[in-house]
Amino acid sequence: MSAVVPTTVLAAEEQVIGSPNLTVSSSDIEFRASEDATLNVNVINNGELLDGGRVEFENEVKTAKSVQISIDEDAIDAPIEVNTGTQSLGRLVDGDQRTVGFDLEIGAAQPGTYEIPVEVTYQHPRVIAFGQFEDTDRQNREQTVSETIEIRIEDRPEFELRATEQTTVVAGDTRQVSYELVNTGTQTARDATVRLETQTPGIFFGKQTSQSTTTSVFVSELSAGDSHAFRLQMGAGPDVAGGTYTVAAGVEYENQNGVARTSDPLSTGVTVASERNFALESMSLTDFRVDESEARIEATISNEGPVPANNVVVRIGETSAVSVVNGESAVGDLTVGDSAPVSFTVAIPNEAEPGSISMPFSVEYENADGDIQTLSTPLRKPLEIKPEQDRFEVVGVNTSVTPGGTATLTVQLRHTGSEPVSNANARLFTNDPLSSSDDGAFLGEIGPDETVTAQFRVSASGDALAKSYGSSVEVRYDEADGDTRFTGSLSTGIQVSDSEGGGLPLLPVGIGAIVLLGGGAVVYRRF
């Protein structure tokens, strides 16, 4: 339809008559259901001249001015929304072509052909009258052109690649992750190959020993609306930060006519969690001192997440200060938050220096796929090596001997070790004016923290003075591993008195003292 703008046409010697001729078309006519697309519309002006004259007037009547183009969304018989409003093209002279794009949101439209109504409005002078002595006069009008563009919704496969419930990989580990390929289109895909590619350094397909940035999955047939689930071995390096990373994909397939096609680019994701975190706590040490062949370390290992660990094994590393006797502790399976005890045995040589050392503990485990993994950084703990200590201490002495007399010396000995010993024997050492005709005492088997009594016969010469004389006891014993050990000299002291009476009182366990007796000294060592 057209609207004529009335003008007065004066008598003239000549006139030019013509009009623009606007047509619309599009080369983008194939679309897919359930997608956002752009419809590019071409507007062409092929002007028409009915009565010619001066060239400038001929060009003017064939020029479209104030050109506007729009799509009538209400007239579309399909689930298609137009997200672009009216667009202005300005002037189109004869022979001009302009292309404008309209954003479409195509819903679940069935395959087929659909009409898109397009309207173009413009203004132009229909008649230009002019003469040698007359003013130029123009007869203007506004015109609307309504046309349709046919588009086709294709009948073909469409794909989505979706991550399912198991798509988390722990840094420094590998795991089977799950995806599914869904055919959201309207046609069956055959002999389809899904090709996937990681987009981030450190994220890979396969195992630690056979890493690859690409992989593929074959699907023999996937009908419209069906899905195909599959699993992939994926891993992440220990330095990959936690987060979700893109995995790019594409599908190569044959359509129902046997024609090879390639899908649009697809993408999915894989989530990387921080490396498994273990804590070594509640550390306790037994006999952790110089010259100990079986010093023990006990602790608790905990799985602090983020995922379970199977068949956990904790190993102790060697240092220059100690040598490992039993350096492995098998734990078993640990879910997140679980803990279990571990214990180790080391030997500390007699040349070791007392003081603090840093001991490494490595953690080995199996992931959900049964692959053996090792914590990238060992757990280190500070441990204190104590000075060398005898396994026995004197806790009480009792004697009563007079010059020229003989008496019984009773010595109480406490076993300070953590393991029982056997075949223990005590031997007494004296100096003039004291002597012993029975300087040995069999003690047998002694348990940890057990106190036993050793008795000896001692004699004092007639010229012995009433005072305390130095003496000592040495204990020989067998350890649980069969090794025979000796204590150092354990000071006892023997009191010579002018008259019969009690000797030194029994001393409290664990307390050392220096007792002055008649100018002499009896020394009890603190352990």
Q: What residues make up the domain containing 251? A: 159-273
SS3 310: strand
The answer to whether the CB of 235 falls within 8 A of the CB of 204 is: yes
Q: 416 and 390 in contact (C-beta within 8 Å)? A: yes
Task: Name the percent of the chain in helix, strand, coil, to the closest 5.
Answer: 0, 60, 35
Taking CA 492 as the corner, what is the angle to CA 488 and CA 496, rounded to the nearest 5 degrees? 145
Q: Are 23 and 147 in contact (CB under 8 A)?
A: yes
Residue 8: per-residue pLDDT: 44
Length of the chain: 527
Q: Radius of gyration of the chain from Cα atoms?
A: 51
Sign of CA dihedral 56, 57, 61, 65: positive
288 in the same domain as 252:
no
Residues 115 and 191 reside in one and the same domain: no
Tokens 């692959």 -> residue: 371
Closest by Cα among 287, 286, 358 to 319: 358
Same domain as 355, residue 315: yes
| Range list of H helices, 19-122 | 55-61
Asked if residue 164 and residue 127 are part of one domain, the reply reads no
User: 385, 417, 449 — which closes off a domain?
Assistant: 385
Looking from the CA of 116 toward its CB, the CA atoms found within 13 Å total: 28
Task: For residue 354, report the phi and psi dihedrals to the nearest 5 degrees.
Answer: -60, 150
Report residue 73: phi and psi, to 5°.
Answer: -60, -35
Query: What order do you get walking across the sheet with 159-163 strand by strand?
Result: 159-163, 173-183, 227-236, 203-205
By DSSP bridging, strand 406-415 and strand 434-438 are: unpaired
Residue 467 class from Cβ within 10 Å (0-12 exposed, 13-18 middle, 19+ buried)?
middle
Cα 195 from Cα 249, distance rounded (Å):
5
Q: Say if residue 83 is in the same domain as residue 225.
A: no
> So what's the pLDDT on residue 221?
94
pLDDT of residue 223: 93
Q: Hey, is 387 helix, strand or coil?
A: coil
Is omega for the bond preceding 111 within 30 degrees of 0, making it cis? no
The residue written with tokens 């366990």 in the block is 509
282 with 269, same domain: the answer is: no
**381/416 same-domain check:** no
Question: HSE on the CB side for 488, CA within 13 Å?
Answer: 8
Burial of 85 (0-12, 13-18, 19+ CB in 10 A): exposed
Say if residues 354 and 385 touch (Cβ distance below 8 Å).
Answer: yes
How far apart, in whole angstroms, are the C-alpha atoms of residue 297 and residue 381? Answer: 11
- Do 470 and 381 fall within a single domain? no
Last residue of a domain, one of 220, 252, 273: 273
Supply the DSSP string of 330-348, one letter for each residue.
Answer: EEEEE-TT-EEEEEEEEEE
Distance CA 174, CA 241 (A): 15
CATH of the domain at 410: 2.60.40.10
Do residues 380 and 440 share a domain?
no
Cis peptide before 382 (omega within 30 of 0): no
Position 524 scores a pLDDT of: 34
Residue 92 and residue 42 share a domain = yes
Cα 188 from Cα 69, distance rounded (Å): 39
Name every residue whose Cβ is closer than 8 Å to that of residue 449 and which is 6 or more positions away in sequence: 414, 415, 416
- Dihedral angle sign, alpha carbons of residues 49, 50, 56, 57: negative
Residue 60, amino acid:
E
> What is the full per-residue pLDDT of the chain (527 aa) written as tens digits?
444 444 444 444 788 888 899 999 998 788 888 788 999 999 999 988 888 788 888 888 888 999 999 999 999 988 999 999 999 999 999 999 999 999 999 887 888 899 999 999 999 888 877 776 566 678 788 899 999 999 988 888 889 999 887 678 888 888 889 999 999 888 899 999 999 999 999 999 998 888 999 999 999 999 988 999 999 999 998 888 888 999 999 999 998 888 899 998 999 999 998 778 899 999 998 888 887 888 899 999 999 888 888 899 999 987 778 888 888 999 999 998 999 999 999 888 888 888 888 899 999 998 777 778 888 788 999 998 888 777 888 888 888 789 988 988 899 999 987 788 899 999 999 988 998 888 888 998 999 889 999 999 999 898 888 888 889 999 999 988 788 888 888 888 888 888 654 444 444 433 333 333 333 333 333 33
Residue of 352, 296, 300, 350 lying closest to 325 (CA atoms): 296
* Number of neighbouring beta carbons within 10 Å of residue 66: 13
Domain boundary (105, 133, 153) is at 153
Q: Is 119 exposed, middle or buried, given 0-12, 13-18 or 19+ CB atoms closer than 10 A? A: middle
Domain count along the chain? 4
In 3D, which of 120, 131, 135 has the Cα closest to residue 64?
120
Closest by alpha carbon to 307, among 285, 326, 335, 279?
335
For 267, 274, 301, the CA distances from 176, given in Å and listed in that order, are 18, 17, 26
Clarify whether residues 45 and 132 are in a common domain. yes
Residues 269 and 282 in one domain: no
